[in-house]
């Protein structure tokens, strides 16, 4: 399992994760959990499904999973291993038919479109295949076409900020059209709770995502959440009994 | 004492695995089945579901699951809980993909959220939202009003003055977040995905 902090860093296998995170406890600090298989080489889907099952056991929060989804069968495998929603990224651009097939099978609310964006000369371009392939499609253009895609949410991630801890690239949101109907998640760059607050206070944002606070900051998530509540941000409070 | 058994209706739609795992976590037994005999003799019945109303009703009718549910409710001690689409199916009809008749166990209709320049609604309505209830709904026993539950839906059940025992939520408009009508109850939100509050609600259902 990989996490990103300036450079890719291995934080441990599933047993390590269970021991150090205990997702059933972390669950009370988050609204939702996103689990991605970011393997660079051939993906082992059975292994990832097993990991997902172990992670999500006794975690009663919504769970989205993805990474290299190329077929309805790939999606079914994750949905039967504890996922409630499927995250699609590269397939959005290479296999548009798959998105409508997934929506027909599971409903559009089941699909989170995730886009990795890279800033080049002031414009944001979409990258695919774990960010390795920067396309000539701009984020602005993609978001304009989004209303035709059968998706339930969109997660906009900044490659330039991901793992830096310097805060969200808020300018990404300037690419959103007026009256954008699909819920927006912003991702990439969170280093502390004030970054989460900046995202949540922006009217264009429906949710904020972080891996950094989960991976490297001890009780980072729990304390970030209580700080946000203290700032008056409207978050559900999950008690522990 | 033997474990309570909950029959989770499997009609090929929705995440049955997480509903079953929440029930098992609460110490009851979960039987996932599409078998009409098992459904019709259930004492505790959950109708889950995610996806298209029309398609769900087609599958339910083709497999006579509607009749099996009605038969189970003819035993006065049987309790039914519909979750998400499962709750909507208990209503009269939905405007999803053209009008489709529901099971009609409550008279309320289901329709889509509408977005206007004024409301600037996000569709689907997704995430944890506050649910308001007056304290006489047994499902919410011990759960304060305005607790948050997890929603993900584009269609909602309309409020009507005729059904009582209703909990409400707001997304551009007030809608039915949950109801309890004698043996029949439903939640638009996912209790199995709503952390401790959701588990409390399911526990109330198991003990009803």
pLDDT in tens, A128-144: 988 889 999 999 999 99
State the nearest Cα–Cα gap between B94 and chain A, in angstroms: 16
Centre a 10 Å sphere on the Cβ of residue B80 and count the other Cβ atoms it contains: 26
CA distances from A173 to A179, A204, B27, B165 (A): 13, 7, 46, 42
User: Does the residue A118 lie in any domain?
Assistant: yes
Least confident span in A26-40, A192-206, B4-18, B154-168? A26-40
Tell me what pLDDT residue A55 has: 81
Q: Say yes or no for a CB contact (<8 Å) between A109 and B122.
A: no
pLDDT digits over A196-222, tens only? 999 999 999 999 999 877 765 567 788
Nearest residue of chain A to residue B199 (CA atoms):
A60
B10, B14, B15: best to mutate for the A interface, most A CBs within 10 A: B15
**Minimal Cα distance from A26: which residue of B?**
B195
pLDDT of residue A1: 34
pLDDT at residue A7 is higher than 60: no
Find which of B58, B128, B130 to mutate to test the A interface (most A CBs within 10 Å of its CB). Answer: B128
> Among residues B112, B94, B119, which one has the least CA distance to residue B104?
B94
Confidence tier at A2 by pLDDT (50, 70, 90): very low
Can you tell me the distance from the alpha carbon of A221 to that of A30, in angstroms, rounded to the nearest whole number? 8
Q: How large is the average pLDDT for residues B25-50?
A: 95
Chain A neighbors of B52, CB-CB under 8 A: 107
Dist. CA A229–CA A209, nearest whole Å = 16
Cβ pair B17:A110 closer than 8 A: no
pLDDT digits (tens, 9 = 90+) for B96-134: 877 999 999 999 999 999 987 777 889 999 999 999 998
Active-site residues of B, by number, are 84, 190, 192
**Is residue A236 included in any domain, yes or no?**
no
Residue A49, in any domain of the structure = yes
- Beta carbons of A92 and A99 less than 8 angstroms apart: yes
Report the domain count for chain A. 1
Judged against a pLDDT cut of 90, whether residue B185 lies above it is answered with yes
Question: B152 and A240 in contact by Cβ < 8 A?
Answer: no
B123–A153 CB contact, under 8 Å: no
Q: Which domain holds residue A180?
A: 2-230
In-domain check, residue A46:
yes
Q: How many CB atoms lie within 10 A of CB A89?
A: 25
For A150-177, letters b (16+ CB in 10 Å) and e give: bbbbbbbbbbbbbbbbebbbbebbebbe
Reported confidence tier of residue B151, pLDDT bands at 50, 70, 90? very high
**Phi-psi map region of B51: left, alpha, beta (phi>0 left; psi -120 to 50 alpha):** left
The pLDDT value recorded for residue A14 is 62
Half-sphere CA count of B152, side-chain side, radius 13 A: 31
The contacts of residue A34 (CB under 8 Å, 6+ apart) are A63, A64, A65, A66, A87, A112, A155, A209
Q: State ipTM.
A: 0.86
What is the bridge-based pairing of β-strands A153-158 and A111-120? parallel
Scanning every residue of chain A, which has its alpha carbon at the shortest distance from the alpha carbon of B152? Answer: A109
Q: Looking at residue A22, what is its pLDDT?
A: 58
CA-to-CA separations, A66 to A81, A102, A108, A210, B61, in angstroms, rounded: 12, 13, 15, 16, 34
Instruction: Give pLDDT, residue A43.
Output: 81
**Number of separate domains in chain B:** 1
Nearest to B50 among A110, A183, A206 (CB): A110
Contacts with B196 from chain A: Cβ below 8 Å: 28, 60, 238-241
Q: What CATH number is associated with residue A37?
A: 3.20.20.70
Residue of A nearest to B143 (CA): A239
Nearest to A107 among B52, B193, B197 (CB): B52
Instruction: State the residue range of the domain holding B174.
Output: 5-206
CATH number, domain containing residue B94:
3.40.50.880
Measured CA to CA, the distance from residue B89 to residue A57 in angstroms comes to 29
Mapping DSSP to helix (H, G, I), strand (E, B) and coil, where does residue A23 land? helix
The confidence score (pLDDT) of residue B14 equals 72
No. of H helices and E strands in chain A?
10, 11
Query: Mean pLDDT, to the nearest integer, of B45-53?
Result: 89
Best of A30, A55, A109 to disrupt the B interface (most B CBs within 10 Å) is A109
Between positions 113 and 142 of A, the ones with CB within 8 A of B are: none
């Amino acid at each position: 399992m990989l996490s990103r902090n300036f450079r890719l860093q291995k934080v441990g296998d599933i047993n390590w994760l269970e021991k150090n995170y205990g997702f059933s406890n972390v669950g009370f600090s988050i609204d939702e959990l996103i689990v991605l298989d970011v393997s660079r080489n051939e993906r082992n889907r059975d292994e990832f499904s097993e990991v997902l099952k172990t992670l999500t056991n006794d975690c009663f929060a919504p769970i989205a999973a993805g990474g290299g989804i190329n077929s309805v069968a790939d999606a079914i495998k994750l949905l039967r291993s504890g996922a409630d929603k499927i995250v699609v990224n590269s397939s959005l651009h290479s296999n548009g038919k798959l998105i409508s097939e997934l929506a027909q099978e599971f409903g559009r609310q089941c699909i989170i479109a995730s886009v990795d964006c890279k800033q080049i000369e002031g414009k944001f371009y979409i990258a695919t295949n774990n960010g390795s392939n920067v396309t000539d499609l701009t984020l602005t253009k993609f978001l304009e076409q989004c209303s035709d895609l059968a998706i339930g949410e969109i997660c906009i991630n900044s490659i330039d900020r991901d793992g830096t801890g310097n805060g969200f690239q808020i300018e990404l949101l300037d690419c959103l059209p007026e009256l954008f109907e699909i819920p927006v998640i912003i991702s990439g760059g969170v280093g502390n709770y004030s970054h989460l607050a900046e995202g949540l206070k922006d009217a264009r944002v429906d949710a904020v995502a972080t891996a950094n606070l989960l991976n490297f900051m001890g009780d980072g998530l729990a304390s970030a959440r209580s700080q946000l509540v203290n700032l008056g941000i409207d978050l559900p409070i999950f008690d522990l009994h | 004492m033997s474990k309570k058994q909950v029959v989770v209706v499997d009609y090929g739609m929705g995440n049955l695995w997480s509903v079953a795992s929440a029930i098992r976590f609460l110490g009851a037994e979960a039987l996932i089945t599409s078998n009409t005999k098992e459904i019709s003799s259930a004492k505790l019945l959950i109708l889950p579901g995610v996806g298209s109303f029309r398609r769900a009703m087609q599958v339910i009718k083709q497999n006579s699951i509607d009749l099996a549910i009605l038969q189970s409710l003819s035993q006065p001690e049987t309790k039914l809980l519909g979750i998400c689409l499962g709750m909507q199916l208990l209503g009269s009809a939905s405007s999803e993909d053209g009008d489709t008749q529901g099971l009609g166990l409550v008279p309320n209709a289901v329709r889509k959220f509408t977005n206007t320049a004024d409301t600037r609604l996000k569709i689907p309505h997704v995430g944890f939202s506050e649910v308001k209830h007056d304290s006489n709904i047994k499902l919410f026993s011990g759960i304060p009003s305005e607790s948050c539950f997890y929603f993900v839906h584009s269609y909602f059940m309309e409020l009507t003055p005729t059904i009582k025992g209703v909990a409400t939520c707001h997304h551009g408009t007030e809608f039915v977040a949950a109801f309890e009508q004698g043996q029949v109850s439903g939640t638009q939100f996912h209790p199995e995905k709503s952390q401790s509050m959701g588990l409390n609600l399911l526990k109330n259902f198991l003990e009803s």
